[in-house]
């Protein structure tokens, strides 16, 4: 079912990882989740560029050639129309001490089936009590240290489908797994990158679409309620309308056009 590659070889069953690997012990690594449509990894170069940049900031070794070799090998085993490729990079093993350096990072690549038809067609969100920390790397980089997002998503369970997270200043940031966009008239808004949001690859492509005035800005909760429509973007689901926030309905203008254009873009890629 699942194809797994670890440090330059395919792996069957369990992963032969060192028990001192900092990815496992300290969430010390980064990852990318990439849509695979018809055996092609969508926007692969952009995902790997983002990973390289995050790894550089965190001082984690990133061997692009080794990662690309692994991705190529794994994609040769692609078996269905829609799949999800995950590339995980950890710092590897170090001496004791948080700031300790590693000579060799670990690379884990996996490919799993993914069914776009089973993804939610719309989402009800609740505002989380857990804030995104815009001063911290974990809010800007796609790191393995995901526990706050997990806790926030768990908080929403039973009440909503996911949470909308504010940053520590009280401005709107994102959901746990998607960037937020608002549509108002001919304008498309999204929180600017210093607000504690991931520089989403799909976010970037939405900001390139013609036909709207685009603005990266500071967004408050009232702006969400005042919008004609709100949606989340990510690499797997692309565009998902948000219909409710804390039990209040949001603007219901269709975002089908944006969704369709992104679907076309990603199948073509």
- Binding site residues, a copy of itself, CB under 8 A: 2, 4, 6, 11, 13-21, 23-28, 31, 57-59, 86, 88, 90, 97-99, 108, 110, 129-131, 133, 135-138, 141, 143-151, 153-154, 156-157, 168, 176-177
Helix axes 64-75, 44-58, angle to 10 degrees: 140
Smaller CB separation from a copy of itself, 21 or 172 = 21
Shortest gap between Cβ of 151 and a copy of itself (angstroms)? 5
The residue among 16 and 247 lying less far from a copy of itself, judged by its C-beta, is: 16
Q: Residue 152: which region, alpha, beta or left (left: phi > 0; alpha: psi -120 to 50)?
A: alpha
Closest CA relative to residue 125, chosen from 222, 231, 215, 226? 231
- If the CB atoms of residues 57 and 64 are measured against a copy of itself, the closer one turns out to be 57
Least distance in angstroms from the C-beta of 209 to a copy of itself: 28
For 189, other C-beta atoms within 10 Å of its C-beta total 23
Positive or negative, the Cα torsion across 74, 76, 79, 84? positive
Least distance (Å) between residue 100 CB and a copy of itself: 9
Smallest gap, in angstroms, from Cβ of residue 51 to a copy of itself? 14
Q: Which is nearer to a copy of itself, 40 or 86 (CB)?
A: 86
CB of 150 to a copy of itself, least distance (A): 5
Dihedral pair phi/psi, residue 210, rounded to 5°: -80, 160
Q: Are strands 82-90 and 40-41 parallel, antiparallel or unpaired?
A: unpaired
- Least Å distance between CB 164 and a copy of itself? 14
Residue 35, Cα to own-chain centre: how many angstroms?
11
Q: How far is residue 225's CA from residue 216's CA, in Å, rounded to a whole number?
A: 18
Choose between 177 and 244: whose C-beta lies nearer to a copy of itself: 177
Q: Cβ closer to a copy of itself: 2 or 186? A: 2
Measure the CA–CA gap between 156 and 176, rounded to whole angstroms.
11
């Amino acid at each position: 079912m699942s194809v797994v590659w670890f440090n330059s070889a395919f792996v069957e069953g369990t992963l032969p990882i060192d028990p001192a690997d900092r990815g496992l012990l300290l969430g010390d690594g980064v990852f990318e989740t990439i849509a695979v449509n018809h055996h092609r990894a969508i926007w692969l170069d952009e995902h790997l560029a983002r990973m390289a940049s995050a790894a550089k900031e965190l001082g984690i070794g990133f061997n692009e050639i080794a990662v690309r070799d692994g991705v190529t090998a794994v994609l040769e085993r692609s078996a269905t129309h829609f799949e999800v490729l995950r590339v995980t990079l950890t710092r590897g093993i170090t001496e004791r001490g948080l700031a300790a350096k590693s000579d060799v990072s670990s690379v884990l690549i996996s490919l799993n089936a993914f069914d776009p038809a089973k993804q939610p067609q719309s989402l009800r969100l609740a505002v989380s009590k857990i804030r995104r920390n815009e001063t911290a790397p974990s809010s800007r980089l796609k790191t393995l240290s995901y526990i706050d997002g997990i806790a926030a998503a768990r908080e929403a369970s039973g009440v909503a489908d996911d949470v909308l997270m504010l940053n520590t200043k009280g401005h709107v940031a994102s959901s746990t797994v998607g960037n937020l966009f608002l549509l108002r008239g001919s304008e498309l808004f999204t929180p600017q990158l210093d607000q504690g949001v991931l520089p989403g690859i799909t976010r970037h492509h939405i900001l390139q679409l013609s036909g709207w005035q685009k603005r990266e800005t500071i967004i408050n909760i009232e702006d969400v309620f005042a919008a004609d429509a709100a949606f989340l973007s990510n690499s797997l689901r692309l565009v998902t309308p948000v219909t409710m926030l804390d039990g209040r309905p949001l603007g219901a203008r269709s975002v089908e056009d944006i969704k369709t254009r992104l679907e076309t873009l990603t199948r073509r890629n």
